[in-house]
Amino acid sequence: MSNTATRIRLTAVVAAAGIVVLAGCSSSDPSDKSSAASCEPAKGKVTLQYWNTVPGMDDVVALWNKKNPDIQVETKNISNDQYGTLGNALKADKAPDLAQVGYDQLPNLRTQNAFVDASGCADATAAKSKFVPWTWSQTSFAGTGVFALPQDTGPMALYVRSDLFKKYDVAVPKTWDEYAAAAEKLNKADPDLDITFFDPNNAEWFNGLIWQNNAKMYSYSGDKWHVTVESDQSKQVADYWQKLIADKVVRTDLANGSTQMYAAYQKDQIASYVGAAWGYSMFRDNLPKQAGKWSIVPMPTWGANGASGDWGGSTVAFMKGSEHLYESVKFNTWLNTDPEALALENKLGGLYPAANAGLQLPALSEGVPYYNNEKIFDVFAESSKNIDTSFAWGPTQKTVNLALQDAMAKAAAGDGTLTDALAAAQAAALKSMKDQAIPVTAGK
């Protein structure tokens, strides 16, 4: 499985492009190795603050605290408003020592000088060989420093209520055309049953869908960024989901992970879920009575190449202002490379690890009881192998995601279309980058 995951890596060209932009917009040049912070150990007992969104992380931290009496860690779950909470803390100079940050948000926060470079710590630089290469490239900005350690990735697949498909004699779809046909058949058999839901307030999920279709949101050449958010491949995905919405065979009133979402699944109102590897524990933990009714199969494809997408995945970043970098590196390295910690994070939080050691966990090669003892992680491993490695994030991704969500919400309510939402996101990308004096143009 390690070899499989290793194939999900960003190209050096894309990573280098991010460095050029970040060097231009940050008050400190990230290519300057002298900016690395001091890594002196504390002279007494230390308490670190670690903010995250992972279920069960308090139990993982408790394991560390039991073994390390001189470096204690206090954890805070900020899943209700992850980046709002972090942003406010940064503005008030009260950021934690460590925080969970998604790969797509790293460039944006880096331009705000949110991180401290931990490359002055030997343990931080030595950790490079412990992670899947593409994840390390993103957290270190292709070797200019160590600003975070990778934690998990999100290869996508299709979660299926096998019993409902069987009940209505609907074949599990292998292509998106078959998925649309299945949606129509299920809804015709039971008007209260939809094949899935479209969450208009989840740009990260939608980005994973267009990623699968070989869409490129950004590229870099000629010393400037080229923005292609509204590419033909992206429009194909938008038009597809727009038709499902118009045909009223998918719901648009549910937010991912919400109480209302679980209630709809509990009432047998939704028959599938397009999700990532880390989502397997969501259904297990929130819908225990549906054990044995779910299967996980490859994501429906657009063509014969079997391409897949990635949704999410996170890092644990070294935040600006921390007075205990040495101890933060010790804990962060253990958290994201130690087999015992990784096994617990996978069991409790559903994390699909970015560390090479994590990909060898026995749990990832065994059947999962909730899913009929199927080896579901084999599906995610295959998904990982089929992800487009040249996909890149832009330096103002947060702004772009917000614009996309706002326009998708309007489209879901009947005001415009999802293709219009792509155009709004494209415009937001161009404006936000120009406002920061980042060389940019509309690409094709």
301: confidence class by pLDDT, cuts 50, 70, 90:
very high
Instruction: Please give the sequence-ordered ranges of beta strands (E in DSSP) within 143-252, or none if there are none.
Output: 148-150, 152-153, 156-161, 196-197, 218-221, 224-227, 250-251
386: confidence class by pLDDT, cuts 50, 70, 90:
confident
Q: What is the pLDDT of residue 21?
A: 35
Q: What would the pLDDT profile of 240-262 be if each residue is shown by its tens digit?
A: 999 999 999 999 999 999 999 99
Q: What would the pLDDT profile of 210-246 be if each residue is shown by its tens digit?
A: 999 999 999 888 888 899 999 999 999 999 999 999 9
Q: Are 135 and 142 in contact (CB under 8 A)?
A: no
Across the chain, mean pLDDT equals 89
Q: What is the pLDDT of residue 142?
A: 64
Helix (H, G, I), strand (E, B) or coil at 117: coil
Q: What is the pLDDT of residue 132?
A: 82
Predicted TM-score (pTM) of the model is: 0.79
Three-state SS sequence of 186-198: HHHHCCCCECEEC
Task: Tell how strand 224-227 and strand 218-221 pair up.
Answer: antiparallel
As a whole number of angstroms, the distance between CA 23 and CA 4 comes to 33
Q: What is the pLDDT of residue 5?
A: 31
Q: What is the pLDDT of residue 81?
A: 93
Q: What is the pLDDT of residue 35?
A: 64
Q: What would the pLDDT profile of 6-43 be if each residue is shown by its tens digit?
A: 223 333 223 333 333 333 333 333 333 436 788 999 99
444: confidence class by pLDDT, cuts 50, 70, 90:
low
Q: What is the pLDDT of residue 19?
A: 34
Going by the DSSP 8-state scheme, the letter that residue 224 receives in this structure is E
272 phi and psi angles, rounded to 5 deg: -155, 175
Q: What is the pLDDT of residue 435?
A: 94
Q: What is the pLDDT of residue 159?
A: 98
Q: What is the pLDDT of residue 422?
A: 98
Residues ≥6 apart with Cβ < 8 Å to 391: 10, 211, 216, 217, 310
Closest CA to 131 of 316, 274, 261, 275: 316
Torsion angle (degrees, nearest 10) of CA 353, 354, 360, 362: 0
Q: What is the pLDDT of residue 34?
A: 38
Q: What would the pLDDT profile of 313-355 be if each residue is shown by its tens digit?
A: 999 999 999 999 999 999 999 999 999 999 999 989 889 999 9
pLDDT greater than 90 at residue 209: yes
Q: What is the pLDDT of residue 139?
A: 86
Percent of the chain with pLDDT strictly greater than 90: 74
Going by the DSSP 8-state scheme, the letter that residue 247 receives in this structure is T
Q: What is the pLDDT of residue 427?
A: 97
CA atoms within 13 A on the CB side of 321: 16
